[in-house]
A and B are shown apart, each in its own frame.
Chain A
């Protein structure tokens, strides 16, 4: 039996709020963050909706306390990770503390500014814009600011990245390498990812409709979400009452295609059953599934099919909150972990916005209105390119 890992704090920033309180308010009020593009300087402003954090980099820097030239990825990370730390009320100086973050683009938002000048003339381009390019850079900046430098690393497994960051953090604590880990992920919108998903023809030109028969694709979003993971020892010694237990998790691979999910959802199935097995739970114990639910034709049918395989024709209540936050890629599992914990703590299931028609392949559909209901166990799914599939389970204490 593995030592239990508790969630002692949460922090979030996304299109639906700068912190946990604002996020909860928007979730409860069914207010989506998907809207016209105002911050990202892209040719698709006006045609592609996104879920942006409506602050310029300078405005974000004023909140984060980082330098305005530092990457948007780092700014978002700083704001959410700092909230998680403060939310935990733990004195970090007494413990071995680490920071495990995730992202997919690193400092791409600045690199693309640099590249424009650089491509025209290799001796031009502001080098400040490119030195923070690699994925690990944002992690080190934030870890140092938060005093979590006893173990630092970054995971980049596409859209499952921050789920894997939480798992790795939990395992570091279980293996007694650290006492506290802030884990999660961050990603900023960039023209690189926007054009990438555009070239794959999976972006919705309207606000997305996850798990709908007539879904057209996803909306990209940005933000960051983190949880503070602690051992029993920390919890007891600090005299804190944790928000939830990280009761199960699993990382599996679909090994089917580079970008597409298998029709049977094999990787998704393995991730969900693996997490249930670790938690020692039966499928019927799960009260709510926070879906990966991107809104692409491929993901939703594959995920839905896997859910049918695990839970049968009458699965638990489910919803994709990407209709609120957009798909925040490397941050999505961190953001959805925070949302899942909010659901658990408040006994409420947030609706799957804009859902109209049940998918013909599935005998069930998502929750479409706010539902108040005591929740004991919540499953959160994250699946990504390269077949990387991860599921985590949060339980009420």
Chain B
């Protein structure tokens, strides 16, 4: 999950946040880290470029990108598949 946090910070250019500052279960959007719909698209790019996982439907985004843990779980599930 540390690697993933680093990748998120880099992809989203979160200059004011260190990867270790992001909690595993901290909400990433709105009230949490304050990410928005454009960030969701960036995270889709990240999954595809770094993990070869294609999130075909953007409407899955809110569930998958809820927290770092949910993204990690999604990666594990879809890499194994």
The answer to whether A and B touch in the complex, with CB atoms under 8 Å apart, is yes
CB atoms of B44 and A201 under 8 A apart: yes
- Asked if A195 is an interface residue, CB under 8 A from chain B, the answer is no
Residues of A with C-beta under 8 A to B38 = 258-259
- Asked if B45 is an interface residue, CB under 8 A from chain A, the answer is yes
CB atoms of B41 and A199 under 8 A apart: yes
CB atoms of B37 and A257 under 8 A apart: yes
- Asked if B6 is an interface residue, CB under 8 A from chain A, the answer is no
Complex-state Cα separation, A260 to B41, whole angstroms = 13
Residues of A with C-beta under 8 A to B45 = 199
Complex-state Cα separation, A201 to B41, whole angstroms = 8
Residues of A with C-beta under 8 A to B41 = 199-201
Write out, one digit per residue, whether chain B residues 23-48 have a CB within 8 A of any chain A CB (1) or not (0): 00000000000001110010011000
- Asked if B58 is an interface residue, CB under 8 A from chain A, the answer is yes
CB atoms of A260 and B37 under 8 A apart: yes
Residue in A199, A200, A201, A260 with the greatest tally of chain B CB atoms within 10 Å: A201
**What is the distance, in angstroms, from B11's C-beta to the closest C-beta of chain A?**
13
Residue of A with least CB distance to B59: A297
Complex-state Cα separation, A200 to B38, whole angstroms = 8
Residues of B with C-beta under 8 A to A200 = 41
Residue of B with least CB distance to A259: B38
- Select B58's contact among A201, A257, A258, A259, beta carbons within 8 Å: A201
Complex-state Cα separation, A258 to B37, whole angstroms = 10
Write out, one digit per residue, whether chain A residues 191-220 have a CB within 8 A of any chain B CB (1) or not (0): 000000001110000000000000000000
**What is the distance, in angstroms, from A286's C-beta to the closest C-beta of chain B?**
32
Residues of B with C-beta under 8 A to A199 = 41, 45
Residues of A with C-beta under 8 A to B58 = 201
Complex-state Cα separation, A260 to B37, whole angstroms = 9
Complex-state Cα separation, A258 to B41, whole angstroms = 14
**What is the distance, in angstroms, from A204's C-beta to the closest C-beta of chain B?**
13
**What is the distance, in angstroms, from A273's C-beta to the closest C-beta of chain B?**
27
**Contacts beyond the supplied A200-B41, A260-B37: 10 A-B pairs with Cβ under 8 Å:** A199-B41, A199-B45, A201-B41, A201-B44, A201-B58, A257-B36, A257-B37, A258-B38, A259-B37, A259-B38
Interface residues of B (CB under 8 A from A): 36-38, 41, 44-45, 58
5 contacts between A and B (CB under 8 A): A199-B41, A200-B41, A201-B44, A258-B38, A260-B37
The list of the 9 closest CB pairs from A to B, nearest first, reads A201-B58, A260-B37, A201-B41, A200-B41, A199-B41, A259-B38, A258-B38, A201-B44, A199-B45
